[in-house]
Copies of this chain bind each other. A is one copy, B any other.
Amino acid sequence: MRTVMWEAEGPAVRMIDQRLLPGEVVRIDLRTVEEVSEAIRDMAVRGAPAIGATAAFGLALAAAVSEATDSDSMWNDLDSASATLSASRPTASNLVWALQRLRSRAVAAVDQSPQAIRQLLLEEAQRIADEDVETNKAMGRFGAELIGDSDTVIHHCNTGALATVDYGTALGVIRTAHEQGKRVHVLVDETRPRLQGAKLTAWELDRYGVPHEIISDNAAGYFLSRGQVAACFVGADRVAANGDVANKIGTYMLALAAWDNEVPFYVVLPTSTVDLSLSSGAEIPIEERDPREVLDLEHEGRPVAPADSKALNPAFDITPHRLISAFVTEVGVLRSPYADALAGAVRRAQEKIEAAH
């Protein structure tokens, strides 16, 4: 099953509730834009590409449930839904990218009936979801060439099927290498504070039969320094025009440790994650999340922090492009200098999408 999909009976946006993994696999149906926005905010669904597809289905849902009988009213409803969805989380650029793509389609149909707009938005959301799977498989093929037989790689956060509509970005590369028969072995960063590595990535690798061990994020540098790691693979939430990467908190420290040990550090992302409007990572907004994500942890049955402790909880950090060995995208592997390479990749991907319409 896909991480997120359209459920025509309802109508609803249907998704796996990732807050319950790895213990339970539960599907939830979201019937309002507010529910979709809350699912994104509370991380029932997470991962930049999955958030993008969810937002697209969310806007299609807004159109589907809108009682508008003329296109002006429909536009009012879509504007309001867009604002709600955009505000769900600030860092992942796929969210805004997907909403903009749907709105461009709707603009092209501005004179049509509300029903035609409803249909058009749903088709475009479905297309984004379908393309995501194809995009991930293409990245898998390009990226798998960077993995040798019997390589051990480090992976941060979750970038698998659960972070996308299906198949995954960085984890998709690892999965492709595994499916090609390469004996790839993964050290899974547990990824504090939300533990997407331990909770989600280990669960996925288990299902794919890929050998792996979970490690504290703190331990990545140790394994890198012992010469035991061939490469690191991570995803991205937003990439600036110069190649600076916003990704899950801890990515920057992992990239430094890879760089200090001359281990390649690869960022795997669809071009929809590139935001050419921002010149560098300094302009990417970084989400501050609830301190309880850091504090509400139990070890051996006991709370770990003193009562009334305070915490700071930035959800992302910026990895400077100088620490990145290559980007793996759906149009190929990009090497430095990144500004030209990323702009070119975005252009080629857009041409493909337009050609398909």
Binding site for B on A (CB under 8 A): 19-20, 22-23, 187, 190-195, 198-199, 202-203, 206, 212-223, 225, 248-250, 252-254, 256-257, 260, 286, 291, 294-306, 309-314, 316-318
Give the complex CA separation of A195 and B191 in angstroms.
14
Report whether B192 and A218 are in contact in the complex, using a CB–CB cutoff of 8 Å: yes
Q: Which residues in B have their C-beta under 8 angstroms from that of A192? A: 190, 192, 216-218
Cα of A285 to Cα of B190 in the assembled complex, Å: 25
- A196 closest partner in B (C-beta): B304
* Additional A-B contacts beyond A218-B248, A219-B313 (14; CB < 8 A): A19-B300, A190-B294, A190-B304, A190-B305, A198-B309, A202-B305, A202-B309, A216-B250, A218-B250, A222-B317, A223-B314, A256-B256, A256-B257, A298-B299
Are A187 and B312 touching (Cβ within 8 A)? yes
The answer for the CA separation of A26 and B206 in the assembled complex, in Å, is 41
Known contacts A214-B294, A310-B214; decide if A304 and B249 are in contact (CB<8 Å).
no
Number of copies: 2
Q: A212 contacts which chain B residues (CB < 8 A)? A: 310
Given the interface pairs A23-B303, A190-B304, A225-B317, the reply to whether A253 lies near B199 with Cβ below 8 Å is no
Q: Would you call B214 and A311 a contact (CB within 8 A)?
A: yes
